[in-house]
Amino acid sequence: MQYPEPIAKLIDSYMKLPGIGEKSATRLAFYTLGMDTEDVKNFAASLTAVKQDLHFCSICGNITEDDPCPVCKDQSRDQSQILVVERPRDIMAMERMNEYHGLYHVLNGTISPSEGTGPMDINIPSLIDRLKQHNEVKEVIIATNASMDGETTAQYLARLLKPAGIKVTRLAHGLSAGADIDYTDELTLFRAVQGRTEM
């Protein structure tokens, strides 16, 4: 016996999410079926709004409703530092720490030879353009994850930026190998920022 088409389609939709297999998708679909109609409408509206109302900041690559994003518009932030992260959610983790007050740049990925992703496939060219246009940047802090691809990306950026006379540092102390920044607690992130090392 097959599920009715609306449930089958909803299960297929949930299975497109990372880490959701058929059993979890089925459980979520039936949970959704039991939800209040207004909650389901709000959930659907939220999904639509994420795709329609958000875009990438033309300066840093963060997700935003307004372009440029609030961080890039904030002239009170330290304009001499740019912290480079892999994903927009990494910025949220750094902001929760409330200790870093510079600018950001989101790569939206990493260099990954195994996946065929090179420097031109992520947000590196816009970082270079940004550094050329703004002479006030004195330090680039590389905050890619402590994974193989994160390290490859960090080393590439260090080799690329050092000849330009820009200080290149890397988050250290406290981030374990394989750790994701967005899952790291604030104290560990604070120690990593304070203990960053020059590359």
Taking the C-alpha atoms of residue 195 and residue 199, their distance in angstroms, rounded to an integer, is 13
Q: Which residue bears the tokens 């899952």?
A: 183
Average pLDDT over residues 107-112: 94
Amino acid at 172: A
SS3 state of residue 158:
helix
What is the reported pLDDT for 176? 63
Are β-strands 78-85 and 167-170 bridged in parallel, bridged antiparallel, or unpaired? unpaired
Taking the C-alpha atoms of residue 172 and residue 80, their distance in angstroms, rounded to an integer, is 20
pTM, rounded to two decimals: 0.78
Average pLDDT over residues 184-194: 71
Taking the C-alpha atoms of residue 181 and residue 97, their distance in angstroms, rounded to an integer, is 12
Are β-strands 167-170 and 63-64 bridged in parallel, bridged antiparallel, or unpaired? unpaired
Query: Fold identical between 5-53 and 63-198?
Result: no
Task: Confirm if 131 and 137 have CB atoms less than 8 A apart.
Answer: yes
Average pLDDT over residues 71-100: 94
CATH architecture of the domain formed by 63-198: 3-Layer(aba) Sandwich (3.40)
pLDDT digits (tens, 9 = 90+) for 50-84: 999 999 999 999 999 999 999 999 999 999 999 99
Q: For domain 5-53, give the fold.
A: Helicase, Ruva Protein; domain 3 (1.10.8)
Q: Domain locations in the chain?
A: 5-53, 63-198
Task: Confirm if 143 and 83 have CB atoms less than 8 A apart.
Answer: yes
Confidence of residue 145 (pLDDT cuts 50, 70, 90): confident
Contacts of 77 (CB under 8 A, 6+ apart): 71, 101, 102, 103
Taking the C-alpha atoms of residue 39 and residue 45, their distance in angstroms, rounded to an integer, is 10
Average pLDDT over residues 169-194: 71
CA atoms within 13 A on the CB side of 57: 23
Higher pLDDT among residues 193 and 9, named by residue: 9
